[in-house]
Amino acid sequence: MKTFGRLVNLALPLRGGMALATLIGVLTVGAGIGLLTTSAYLISMAALHPSVAALGVAIVGVRFFGLARGVFRYLERYVSHNVTFRLLARFRVWFYRSIEPLAPARLMEHRSGDLLSRVVADIETLQNFYLRVIAPPLVALVIGLGMWFFLGAYNVVFAFAFLGFYGLAGIGVPLLTHLLSRKLGQELITTRAELNVQLIDGIQGMADLIAFNQEDRQQTRVEDLNRKLTDLQKRLAWVNGLQGALGNLLMNLAVWTMLILAIPLVRNGELDGIYLALLALAALSSFEAVLPLPGAFQQLGSSLEAAHRLFEIADTKPAVTTITEPQPTPTDYSLNVTQLGFRYQPNEPKALDGLSFSLKPGQTLAVVGTSGSGKTTLANLLLRFWDYQEGQITLGGYDLQRYSPAATARLIGVVTQQTHLFNTTIRENLLIARSDATQDEIEQATRQANIHDFILSLPQGYQTRVGEMGLGLSGGERQRLAIARAILKNAPILLLDEATANLDAANEREVLDAIHRLMQNRTTIIITHRLIALDRADQILVLKAGRVVERGTQSELLQQEGFYWRMWELQNAVTREQGLEVG
Amino acid sequence: MKLDKKLLGQTGSVKLYLGLTVGIGLLTGILIIFQAHFLSQIIDSVFLKNNNGGLTLPLLMLLGLIVARAGLTWGSEVSANRVAGRVKSNLRQKLFARLLKLGPAYTRRERSGELSNVVVEGVESLDPYFSQYLPQVFLTLLVPLVVLIVVFVADMLSGIVLLLTTPLLPLFMILIGLKTKAVSEKQWGLLSVMSAHFLDVLQGLTTLKLFGRSQHQEETISRISDRFRVTTLKVLRVAFLSALVMELGATLSTAIIAVEIGLRLLYGQIPFQSAFFVLLLAPEFYLPFRALGSRFHASASASAASGRIFEILEAPEPQPETANPASGPLKTPTAIRFEEVYYAYKSEGETRPALQGVSFEVKMGQKVVLVGPSGAGKSTLFQLLLRFIEPDSGTIRLEYGNTNTALSSVAAREWRELVGWVPQNPYLFNTSVIENIRLGRPEATLEEVSVAARQAHAHEFIEALPLGYNTVIGERGARLSGGQAQRLSLARAFLKDAPVLLLDEATSNLDPENESLVLDATEKLMQGRLTLIIAHRPSTIGRADRLIRLEAGRVVTQEGPKLEKLAHRKPEEAK
């Protein structure tokens, strides 16, 4: 109920449009009722053989409602879709605004599979919130009220009888089917998800299954689930059939009851027989308004589930507290880290423990270690994605936590291994680094990053859209675009987080060349598990389980024949083997 | 009225239910006619004839018809679901069986998501086609015809009016159908572009933040959403307009009939009962057409999904098995010999040669290392030995002392019983750890599984998982590192205990600690078996009996032992 309230609140600014769409919706159903009732009235009148003039109004009415029905239907669709798309835009902006402060820390915690694609799908579900959830009950309510007065004008008995059937069809039937299908529906969803999991296992793991002669077992599993799914859908069809049958039954029973009630009244002269057909058809045609209600009820359920998931994400507290006091101006671009400690969750082991180093302006520090050693955590803390819990980081003489995330972003240029390129032109992608850069500045950056010639070779040069090339950009090209961005941004501190991972040897060399040009005169931190070109580093930290196990220059570390040496040995052996292969 | 031949072909086993669904629909139409008859009779006699008696029977008949109609509505839903349910269930089974036949060479990992989507959602999207569209096609042919005949009998002139408007409706429908299809495709296109943009921004949020640009995006999102709204409404207006024409066609025809019979009533040319009866039936005449019109999109989206479904069902099977599948268990060979084996990958008219005349022999008990640059043909050799693919020419022979037999002449299943495989990236199934290891031998006891896990150095980390061997992989943070996955895969091979071993070493996860554990387990596993290793580790290469170097699908060199020096060189020497 709370979710529903919040959802309505979000949609509230569009109430004007919604009210208009509802009104036209009422008029559409009303025109349908009008067409049938005036037609019934027309022929009943005509049967009494009056003058043509007496039929004039009825004839005009029939023609009017016949035309109006189509026109209203058209208008209603137009206005309600307009509202729907406005809602969609609102929900998107709202959601973006809520999660912007959460990225990336809290989103990583939420990440289960494809969280973001689910978010997009959930918002698309919500766009129907007005069209399928809010509008149908409102229209049904107004039509019900209108019919109450209309029938009550003839005799209050009609009004009560009608309302009974109308209410049952509009509230009772949806409620009943909801109760009957709730468990089935949930079981259906889990069965379908389970079938999906087994199919993905069967398809992705097919080589393993076949190699171990186990494909038949998987096939049996899929068949069992498939049978269960079919069976559930069969049972659900019984419920859906019941819903349709009851709706139909109540509608026709309403007509029948009108007759039963009206016939004695006509006989004893309390009601003019001319209205008999009219009353029956009015009752019949007004049920158009309640028939979509069971659907609305189901849609309400899925809307609330979608909204619940979105609210859950949006309500997360940001991982970083932003201080609003004036931003300090760094005295220089040195970095000092003392006894830094951090854990992601209170019950998890420390991801970083007692880390210390100090980096003078213009120096280079390399942080190496295997996956899970805490390298990326250090990057996350430096970029203020998370706030550290123990020790201190100072940048240019001030505690890092005194800078806002935006100020930190200005000071630190980053090249990571997953560079996101937006589905727009190459130029726009570069301008993200500095929106006022001239074409000259852009080209200077791309030349330094060894990517200018490649961009010119594309069909539309800098105007080529990244998405249109599909996967046409290689990992190396993406990395060099990321480096060009970092050059354009021209930040005094540089953070390279696995910038050359996933590249082949030739590409790696080119990217390294570009990186070395970028590193000049900048305070640089290189985070890597590939021990390549680290002889340039002023200091190397070797991390293991969040702690520094070795530190020194490359030659010192190799001399020690410790952990660094073993990693180095392992990698160079592989590189050597590959070198042998190529040569 | 487009009927997809291939989709229709799927109804073979459910013709009965399809017929039943159509039959129920037709019967409903007939009941509606009777209902209209009794309704007009009752009103006529009360309104004009002031008939006091004899109404009980028509009223009861009417009540009976109402109840029967509700029953039919129910039956129709259930029966229509049977049609769709059976077709979907059959198609899913066929699809999965087909994919298994096509094998891992077809279901490459990168498209597995798309493939399972076709099997679940793609098949599901056929539902409205079979449960709604298909029965409606028949009903649209039948019900209006029955109504028309009845109206003709009741009142000739109204029948003529209906008949005159009839040709217009299918015409409108075709026009609207074509239009709506184009329009809905365009609209879905726009919507997906729009959603893709939103997703793009969400995925790039970290990047935007790093460049301090994340707060500007709100405007962009709102602007693009607004542009989408304007364009989509423009597109939809066309669709709404065609619906308007359809609606007007039906309501105006009803209005014309109402006025026409009203005027004739006035001059006493038609009895009231017939007039009312015709008025009630006129909307029923148009209803099936409109219902079919609104189900056009079901047909359109079904034919879109069916394209992909039949592509899979009709994909040519790479190599039908020739050997007798019931040939019985296979004996362990004393050696495996490759004789001039050729293989090329074929896709979309392109052929990429992978093996070009490879010959070598491996004896039982030997450890042979395969090296070579990526694309040299190492993995193709493994695929051939696993019987995922068959040689284009040349033979792989199994030696039995003095006799031998071609690998292609034995049943693949029997052969695979003799092979243990440790892939580079083992697939871990979404089930418990114990079930994952039991892939090697499904009937193994917990005792046997844990022995295998100990041998693979996997027991310790498995015990440390929240539920030990019963931990479901992937749930609540129980994700395994690459090295742990490798050790599980080794445990599978220990459990299977097959005489032939195919080992594909991982290139990544160069973690010195994990390295020694994997190496030790691998060493134990290879004892007394015929082992082929695709190796990347110098230590592995060093302990092999022989090294085969492949380049561009050919064997370049075969070296004997004495590989030790390659393995233990000091870094200074390597520089």
Q: Which one, of B529, B460, B518, B531, lies nearest residue B489 by Cα? A: B518
Question: What's the pLDDT score for residue B567?
Answer: 43
Question: What's the pLDDT score for residue B561?
Answer: 54
The mean pLDDT of A459-487, rounded to a whole number, is 79
Q: How far is CA A130 from CA A134, A141, B377, in A?
A: 5, 15, 59
- Contact across the interface for A66 and B252, Cβ inside 8 Å: yes
CB-based contacts of A498, cutoff 8 Å, min separation 6: A416, A417, A527, A528, A529, A530
Query: What distance, in Å, lies between the first and last C-alpha atoms of chain A?
Result: 70
Query: How many CA atoms are closer than 13 Å to the CA of A82, on its beta-carbon side?
Result: 19
Question: What's the pLDDT score for residue A473?
Answer: 75
Q: Are A430 and B207 in contact (CB under 8 A)?
A: no
Question: What's the pLDDT score for residue A360?
Answer: 92
Q: Are B262 and A58 in contact (CB under 8 A)?
A: yes
Rounded distance between C-alpha atoms, residue B465 and residue B479, angstroms: 10
Question: What's the pLDDT score for residue B450?
Answer: 94
Rounded distance between C-alpha atoms, residue A266 and residue B52, angstroms: 11
Rounded distance between C-alpha atoms, residue B237 and residue A75, angstroms: 10
Question: What's the pLDDT score for residue B103?
Answer: 84
Q: Token pair of A406, please?
A: 């935006």
Consecutive H or E run containing A506: helix A505-519
Residue A566 has a CB neighbour count (10 Å cut-off) of 16
Query: Looking at beta carbons, which residues of chain B come within 8 Å of A214?
Result: 439, 442
- Contact across the interface for B247 and A227, Cβ inside 8 Å: no
Question: What's the pLDDT score for residue B508?
Answer: 56
Question: What's the pLDDT score for residue B564?
Answer: 44
Q: Token pair of B256, please?
A: 């014309």
Q: How far is CA B59 from CA A279, A284, A286, B48, B279, in A?
A: 16, 17, 22, 17, 20
Does residue A93 have a pLDDT over 60? yes
Q: Which residue has the tokens 């990395």?
A: A479
pLDDT band at A113 (very low <50, low <70, confident <90, very high): very low
Q: Which one, of A507, A40, A96, A59, lies nearest residue A310 by Cα? A: A96
C-alpha distance from A486 to closest chain B C-alpha (Å) = 9
Q: Token pair of B481, please?
A: 């590192």
CB-based contacts of B351, cutoff 8 Å, min separation 6: B344, B345
CB-based contacts of B16, cutoff 8 Å, min separation 6: none
Best probe of the B interface among A27, A28, A39, A412, by most B CBs < 10 A, is: A39
Q: Which residue has the tokens 């109609």?
A: B69
**Picking from A113-122, B65-74, B412-421, which range would have the lowest pLDDT averaged per residue?**
A113-122
Rounded distance between C-alpha atoms, residue A111 and residue A313, angstroms: 10
Q: Chain A contact for B266, CB < 8 A?
A: yes
In single-letter form, the type of residue at position B301 comes to S
Question: What's the pLDDT score for residue B76?
Answer: 94
Of A124, A260, A581, nearest to B195 by CB-CB distance is A124
Q: What is the pTM of this model?
A: 0.81
* Interface ipTM: 0.83
Q: Are A33 and A282 in contact (CB under 8 A)?
A: yes
Of A240, A256, A406, nearest to B66 by CB-CB distance is A256
Does residue B148 have a pLDDT over 70? yes
Q: Which of the two residues, B170 and A419, has the higher pLDDT score?
A: A419
Rounded distance between C-alpha atoms, residue B457 and residue B491, angstroms: 8
Residue A461 has a CB neighbour count (10 Å cut-off) of 12
Per-residue pLDDT reduced to its tens digit, A31-62: 999 999 999 999 999 988 888 888 889 999 99
Q: Are B147 and B287 in contact (CB under 8 A)?
A: no
* Strand arrangement of the beta sheet that strand B335-347 belongs to: B350-363, B335-347, B393-400, B403-406
Per-residue pLDDT reduced to its tens digit, A352-368: 999 999 999 999 999 99
Percent of chain A with pLDDT over 70: 94
Does residue B329 have a pLDDT over 90? no
Per-residue pLDDT reduced to its tens digit, A126-169: 888 888 889 999 999 999 999 999 999 999 999 999 999 999 99
Residues 43-102 of B with CB under 8 A from A: 43, 46-48, 50, 52, 55, 59, 62-63, 66-67, 69-71, 73-78, 80-82, 85-86, 88-89, 92-93, 96-97, 99-100
pLDDT band at B563 (very low <50, low <70, confident <90, very high): very low
Number of residue pairs across A and B with CB atoms under 8 Å? 396
Rounded distance between C-alpha atoms, residue A472 and residue A31, angstroms: 57
C-alpha distance from A566 to closest chain B C-alpha (Å) = 7
Q: Are B561 and B533 in contact (CB under 8 A)?
A: no
Does residue A578 have a pLDDT over 60? no
Does residue B346 have a pLDDT over 90? no
- Contact across the interface for A558 and B571, Cβ inside 8 Å: yes
Question: What's the pLDDT score for residue A218?
Answer: 92
The mean pLDDT of B390-399, rounded to a whole number, is 92
Q: Are A445 and A514 in contact (CB under 8 A)?
A: no
Q: Are B117 and B139 in contact (CB under 8 A)?
A: no
pLDDT band at B486 (very low <50, low <70, confident <90, very high): confident
Question: What's the pLDDT score for residue A582?
Answer: 34
Q: Token pair of B102, please?
A: 């096509």
Question: What's the pLDDT score for residue A144?
Answer: 96
Question: What's the pLDDT score for residue B300?
Answer: 72
Q: Which residue has the tokens 């750890």?
A: B433
Question: What's the pLDDT score for residue B509?
Answer: 53
Average pLDDT of chain A?
87
Write down the H helix ranges in A268-365: 276-286, 293-314
Burial of A436 (0-12, 13-18, 19+ CB in 10 A): exposed
The DSSP line for A433-459 is T-TT--HHHHHHHHHHTT-HHHHHTST
- Contact across the interface for A414 and B214, Cβ inside 8 Å: no
CB-based contacts of B147, cutoff 8 Å, min separation 6: B29, B33, B162, B281, B284, B285
Q: Are B364 and B333 in contact (CB under 8 A)?
A: yes
Question: What's the pLDDT score for residue A31?
Answer: 94
Q: Are B424 and B506 in contact (CB under 8 A)?
A: yes
Q: Token pair of B280, please?
A: 């009630």
Percent of chain A with pLDDT over 90: 45
Question: What's the pLDDT score for residue B570?
Answer: 38
Does residue B480 have a pLDDT over 60? yes
pLDDT band at B90 (very low <50, low <70, confident <90, very high): very high
Q: Are A570 and B515 in contact (CB under 8 A)?
A: yes
Question: What's the pLDDT score for residue A112?
Answer: 46
Question: What's the pLDDT score for residue B469?
Answer: 92
Does residue B400 have a pLDDT over 50? yes
The mean pLDDT of A209-227, rounded to a whole number, is 92
Q: Which one, of B369, B365, B367, B360, lies nearest residue B334 by Cα? A: B365
Phi and psi at residue A137, to the nearest 5°: -65, -35
pLDDT band at A561 (very low <50, low <70, confident <90, very high): confident
B23-55 in b/e form (b: 16+ CB < 10 A) is bbbbebbebbbbbbbbbbbbbbbbbbeeeeeeb
In single-letter form, the type of residue at position B255 comes to A
Closest-CA residue of chain A to B235: A78
Rounded distance between C-alpha atoms, residue A552 and residue A561, angstroms: 13
Q: Chain A contact for B275, CB < 8 A?
A: yes
Rounded distance between C-alpha atoms, residue B82 and residue A230, angstroms: 9
Percent of chain B with pLDDT over 70: 86
Does residue B344 have a pLDDT over 70? yes
Pair type for strands B367-371 and B530-534: parallel
The DSSP line for B11-39 is TGGGHHHHHHHHHHHHHHHHHHHHHHHHH
Q: How far is CA B36 from CA A20, A157, B54, in A?
A: 37, 24, 18
Per-residue pLDDT reduced to its tens digit, A221-256: 999 999 999 999 999 999 999 999 999 999 999 999
In single-letter form, the type of residue at position B293 comes to G
Q: Are B129 and A224 in contact (CB under 8 A)?
A: no
Query: Looking at beta carbons, which residues of chain A come within 8 Å of B104?
Result: 206-207, 210
Query: How many CA atoms are closer than 13 Å to the CA of A228, on its beta-carbon side?
Result: 17
Of A309-313, A475-479, A509-513, B215-219, highest mean pLDDT: A309-313
Query: Looking at beta carbons, which residues of chain A come within 8 Å of B191?
Result: 124
Instruction: Tell me the β-bridge partners of B221.
Output: none
Classify A35 in phi/psi space as left (phi over 0), alpha (psi -120 to 50) or beta. alpha
Question: What's the pLDDT score for residue A516?
Answer: 86
Q: Which residue has the tokens 């980053």?
A: A414
Does residue A517 have a pLDDT over 90? no
Per-residue pLDDT reduced to its tens digit, B215-269: 778 888 888 888 888 888 887 787 777 778 777 877 888 888 888 898 899 888 9
Per-residue pLDDT reduced to its tens digit, B165-222: 777 766 766 666 666 666 666 766 777 777 778 888 888 888 888 888 887 788 888 8
In single-letter form, the type of residue at position A249 comes to L
**Picking from A435-449, B329-343, B504-518, which range would have the lowest pLDDT averaged per residue?**
B504-518
Average pLDDT of chain B?
83
Phi and psi at residue A387, to the nearest 5°: -95, 135
Query: Looking at beta carbons, which residues of chain B come within 8 Å of A92?
Result: 198, 221-222, 225
Q: Chain A contact for B207, CB < 8 A?
A: yes
Q: Which of the two residues, B49 and B428, has the higher pLDDT score?
A: B428
* Strand arrangement of the beta sheet that strand B546-551 belongs to: B419-422, B500-504, B530-534, B367-371, B546-551, B554-559
